[in-house]
Structure 1
Amino acid sequence: MLAYSTYSEAGGVGKTTTAANLAVAHARAGLKPLVVPLDPQDGDLSRLFGVDDHRTESVDNLVRHMIRRPKGDFDALIRTVEGVDIIPEHNMLSDLTEYLQREKDQAEAMGEAFGMHAQLLRVLQEANVPENYDVLICDPPATEGPHLYNAINATRSLVIPVEPSAKGRAAVEGLESLVSGFEDQLDIEVGVLAALPIGFKDTRDQRAIMNEIDYPIPEVIGERASLMEGCWMEQCSAFTYVREHRDRRRDYELETLAQFDRVARHLEEQVGLDAPNPPEPGDVDHEVLQT
């Protein structure tokens, strides 16, 4: 199984839209992806796909499973959009740290172990996610803490959107120490499958910044604010937005879709995962055939 978390220290670089569009790109190729968004903010992946309608209700959710108090089966949490299975975010995520700490204290009082940063991994393993899915994508918040650590512990790999700017330069400079810090904190090995520059305008400064990135860069995505804003407005991926909500198809937007397709193939190749029905990159009318 291919597993990765989309992560960037810098906010506003398109982390969530990257996760969403890569998930759809995997699904377009006939693979079965599961997306686990872990950001407690309202502008999250569940909102992007329009499956955040129960986040304020007293319903079963991922946090309840992580603290060993589920109200139902794991499979009942899942919503499916554009061929992608998603576990919607719930407002309980805002207090995840407190819930996990309380559970840890209670477990230790009973002489039991409770790893605060291993609970998502446990839930996914108990639900047989590695056997039932081809791809696992976690979309955690940028800030360090149990949300991020649980995501990285569950996936062990990162895809890092990078802003080619002065702010992005600082993030790039800290990538190596950041990954080392995750490994020390969680006592695991963390790999970087790809860095993905987004908002590239081909300036000299941007080229200099990209030359400093030591991780694989399968594609460089240009400025696509209008396309991504349209996705949020219509609550869909860029593939669906171009296919169903654009009055005409723009070549540069079709190229962006092709880039997401190519990045998905790059990531699959890193773990030897063969997609059964890969589209011609950027073919928005490709028929999705899933086994």
Structure 2
Amino acid sequence: MDTVMLAYSTYSEAGGVGKTTTAANLAVAHARAGLKPLVVPLDPQDGDLSRLFGVDHERTESVDNIVRHMIRRPKGEFDDLVRTVEGVDIVPEHNMLSDLAEYLQREKDQAEAMGEAFGMHAQLLRVLREAGVPETYDVLICDPPATEGPHLYNAINATRSLVIPVEPSAKGRAAVEGLESLVVGLENQLEVEVGVLAAIPMGFKNTRDQRAVLDEIDYPIPEIVGERASMMEGCWMQQCSAFEYVREHRDRRRDYEVETLAQFDRLARHLESEVGLEAPNPPEPGDVDHEVMTV
């Protein structure tokens, strides 16, 4: 039987929209339902997904990391890169990601000097395939930086689909409009089809202007997430997902926060259904105390 893997990159041209927390909470929502997710964050900035989950301490040059694998200089097996937090497997970010473009260009130049081909934007896809990721995992999530370049191109080439957190503002509208041309450009450049699984408005306050922005978005909008700055800041402080934050670090359950967790659960089910992936143990949306099945 063919295995089905849901694969997507979280992308937002605008900063501060909650792209990384969206990736993290969706990954945990997939894991809560009994699926096996792998997250490959590719953002070299501080405040990245590795830091959110507290797995970003090994960043020295001597440590094996995803960049070494992408330039065919691994120091170990891919599986040894993986850290597991809250049921989610993560390949931690590394300082070498800051210079990914230079490393890939150098490898490309060396390969071409030897008469070999080296696709700079296909190396993450190669690494994941060689490691058997499509056969091992149910879900692959990449979290690249917003800027165009090899991090973003490798992520999109590996996943072929996007989930877009959107700021419901004039800035967010411009970002979505820019995204449409970006998708077409990427499809032409990478020679792959890129789909948009969902746009997720974040920080919605239900103003008339915000509703007007949402009306102009042509992509599916399965959920609209309200202003949750306090909860998301708490996640960064405690280095955990919103699910764990509400369960372990809130003195009382706030209905609006539990509803946001339910939205992440429902979003995960929506994304899974887009590729025909059926979770074996989906919780009641927002059930904070749901027992996670180990895969």
Same fold (TM over 0.5): yes
Show the counterpart of 2:158: 154
- Mapped contact 1:172–1:212 kept (Cα < 8 A): no
Show the counterpart of 1:45: 49
- Mapped contact 1:13–1:162 kept (Cα < 8 A): yes
Distance 1:95 1:176 in 2: 28
The 3-state SS of whatever aligns with 2:203 is strand
Q: Deviations over 1:71-95 (max 9, x none)?
A: 0000000000000000000000001
Larger displacement relative to structure 2 (210-219 or 169-178): 169-178
Show the counterpart of 1:225: 229
Equivalent in 128, 138, 142 of residue 138 of structure 1: 142
The 3-state SS of whatever aligns with 1:34 is strand
Show the counterpart of 2:192: 188
Offset of 1:118 from its aligned partner? 0.2
Offset of 1:57 from its aligned partner? 5.0
TM-score w.r.t. the length of structure 1 is 0.99
Q: Does 1:10 align with 2:14?
A: yes
Q: Deviations over 1:73-127 (max 9, x none)?
A: 0000000000000000000000100000000000000000000000000000000
Show the counterpart of 1:163: 167
Q: Does 1:67 align with 2:71?
A: yes
The 3-state SS of whatever aligns with 2:162 is strand
Distance 2:209 2:178 in 1: 18
Distance 2:103 2:139 in 1: 28
TM-score w.r.t. the length of structure 2 is 0.98
Alignment of 1:232-247 (within 5 A): 232-247=236-251
- Mapped contact 1:162–1:197 kept (Cα < 8 A): yes
* Pairwise CA RMSD: 0.6
Equivalent in 259, 275, 281 of residue 277 of structure 1: 281
The 3-state SS of whatever aligns with 1:221 is coil
Letter in 1 for 2:115: G
Larger displacement relative to structure 2 (42-51 or 165-174): 165-174
Distance 2:31 2:121 in 1: 29
Distance 1:222 1:131 in 2: 36
Offset of 1:176 from its aligned partner? 1.8
Show the counterpart of 2:96: 92
- Mapped contact 1:30–1:277 kept (Cα < 8 A): yes
Letter in 1 for 2:184: S
Show the counterpart of 1:121: 125
Larger displacement relative to structure 2 (257-266 or 164-173): 164-173
Offset of 1:31 from its aligned partner? 0.1
Offset of 1:182 from its aligned partner? 1.2
Structure 2 unaligned segments of length 5 or more: list them. Answer: none
Q: Deviations over 1:186-208 (max 9, x none)?
A: 11100000000000000000000
Structure 1 unaligned segments of length 5 or more: list them. Answer: none
Q: Deviations over 1:149-208 (max 9, x none)?
A: 000000000000000011111112223212111111211100000000000000000000
Q: Deviations over 1:36-55 (max 9, x none)?
A: 00000011000000000102
Letter in 1 for 2:256: Y
Show the counterpart of 1:172: 176
Show the counterpart of 1:28: 32
Distance 1:99 1:173 in 2: 32
- Aligned residues, how many? 291
Q: Give the fraction of aligned pairs with identical amino acids, expressed as a percent.
A: 88
